[in-house]
Structure formats: C-alpha cells, structure tokens
Structure 1
Amino acid sequence: MSELDALLAAGRAAASDLMREAITVRTAAEAGFDWESGVETPGTGEVLYTGRARVKPVARSRGEEVDAGEQNTTLREYTISVPWDSPAPPERVVPGATVDVDTSPDGRLVGLRLWVTGVEYGSTATAWRITAEDRS
C-alpha cells in the first residue's frame, strides 16, 4: 500500500465515522395530483441508494427565498456524504433525484426531503458527496 493509499484509507475511515444518518436516494419522479382533494402527492422514484450518510447544512447557505408556483419557498443547501466504498448505484445520481433522511440523532432532520442539485465523484475523495437543497 502506498503512502497515498494509507492516507486515503485513514481519511475515508474518519469521514465514515461522521456518518450518523440513514438516507434513501431515489430517481426523480413526477408528482401526482388528486383533482378531487386538491392535494399533490410527491412522486416516488426508483431507489438508487439506501444506507449511512452525513447530512450537513452548507455554512454559507443563506436560505434564499424564491417563488415556486404561487408559493414563496426558502432554499437551503446541504451536503450529503456517503461512504466512498458504497456500491455504485444502478444508475448515476443526477439533479432532480431526491434524498430522504430516514434516521438521525437529530430528530429535526428525520423526514426531511432534499432535492439533488449536484454530485461529486473522485478517486482521491474521502466520500462521494451529493449537494442538495431543502425547498420548504
């Protein structure tokens, strides 16, 4: 094992130790709408990943307010770190996919749905990272 490989292994172990949430990543799916009740139901896509992760708000995120349809929405950015050695998903995670926080030591994160805005891969990374936003 080279010195670089040893450093990467140590970094990946340290990154993994910080992963205290469990998440589910799904492909983008079209939402449904019940015309009788007037309720929109979120679409449920194919599961791409389920397992451990670290869900961390981006420090520089300012909570930008935008208009979405007829509703004012605040966008908050998050970085989701997934173990580097996780099995490759059946298809690439792309913007529009969703990330649901299933469990967390911080109960306020449980049930949070995030929308993927970007994904970072790399052979020298300590984790593969997903950037996402909370649209609530």
Structure 2
Amino acid sequence: MSALDALLAAGRAAAAGLARETVTIRGAAADGFDWDTGTESPGSGELLYTGPARVKAVVGRSHGEEVDAGERNVTLRQYVISVPWDSPAPPERVVPGATVDVNASPDARLVGLRLWVTGVEYGSTATAWRISAEDRS
C-alpha cells in the first residue's frame, strides 16, 4: 500500500465516522397531481441509494436565498450530503433533479427533510462521495 493509499484509507474512515444520518436517494421523477384532491405529490424515482450519510448545511449559504417559484416564495438553502466513498455504486448516476430524503438523524430537525440534488462530485482521491443539494422550503 502506498503512502497515498494509506492516507486516503484513513481519511475515508474518518469521513465515514461523520455519517450520522440515514438517507434515501432517488432518481429524478416528475411530480404527480391528484385531480380529486387538487394536490401535487412529489415524484418518486428509482431507488439509487439508501444508507449512512453526513448532511451538512453549506457555511455562508445556510441563511437561504428567497426566490419566486410559481406563485409562492421559496427559500433555497444549500447542503452537502457526504456518502461513504466505498458505498455500492448506484444502478445509475445521480443527476440534478434527484431527491435526497433524510430518514434518521441525531438532530431530529433534519428528519423528514427533502433535498433536491444540484450537483455531484466524483474523484478517486476523495474521502467521500459528495452531493450538492438544496432545501426548497
């Protein structure tokens, strides 16, 4: 094992130790509309990953940015979801528009949070697989 491989293994183990949330990542899917109730329900795409992750607000962007979406104001908050580097590869690439649902967390305020993927970072020298996402509440 080279010095770089040893350093990466240590970094990946440390990053995996910070994965205190459990998330589900689903591929992008169109929202559904129930004509009987007049409500829209979020789409549920193909299951891409479920397991441990670290969910962290992006410093300097966690205050949110107000934007107009349709007929209502929405505050966008940026997050980074770090999935252990050695997690199984999903059946397809995670692309913008996919969703990340926080299923469990030591911080109860994160549970139930739905995030929309805005970007994904891959790299052979990364310590975790990082996904950029936003909270559109």
What TM-score comes out, normalization by structure 1 length?
0.98
Q: Does 1:114 align with 2:111?
A: no
- Give distance in 1, aligned partners of 2:7 and 2:135: 34
In the alignment, what sits opposite 2:55?
55
3-state SS of 1:100 partner:
strand
- Give distance in 2, aligned partners of 1:8 and 1:20: 20
In the alignment, what sits opposite 1:15?
15
- Give distance in 1, aligned partners of 2:117 and 2:59: 17
- Give distance in 2, aligned partners of 1:63 and 1:46: 29
In the alignment, what sits opposite 2:30?
30
CA RMSD of aligned residues (A): 0.6
3-state SS of 1:11 partner:
helix
Q: Tell me the CA shift for residue 36 of structure 1.
A: 2.7
- Partner deviation per Cα, 1:99-126 (whole Å, 9 max, x = no partner): 0000000000000000000000100000
Number of equivalenced pairs: 136
Q: Does 1:91 align with 2:88?
A: no
Unaligned 5+ runs, structure 2: none
3-state SS of 1:76 partner:
strand
Deviation beyond 6 Å, 4+ runs, structure 1: none
Unaligned 5+ runs, structure 1: none
In the alignment, what sits opposite 1:2?
2
Percent sequence identity over aligned pairs: 78
Higher alpha-carbon deviation: 115-124 or 56-65? 56-65
In the alignment, what sits opposite 1:104?
105
In the alignment, what sits opposite 2:131?
130
One-letter code aligned to 2:30: E
One-letter code aligned to 2:68: D
In the alignment, what sits opposite 1:43?
43
In the alignment, what sits opposite 1:76?
77
3-state SS of 2:7 partner:
helix
What TM-score comes out, normalization by structure 2 length?
0.97
Q: Tell me the CA shift for residue 50 of structure 1.
A: 0.4
- Partner deviation per Cα, 1:51-99 (whole Å, 9 max, x = no partner): 0000000002040000000010000000000000011100000000000
Q: Tell me the CA shift for residue 35 of structure 1.
A: 2.3
Higher alpha-carbon deviation: 70-79 or 34-43? 34-43
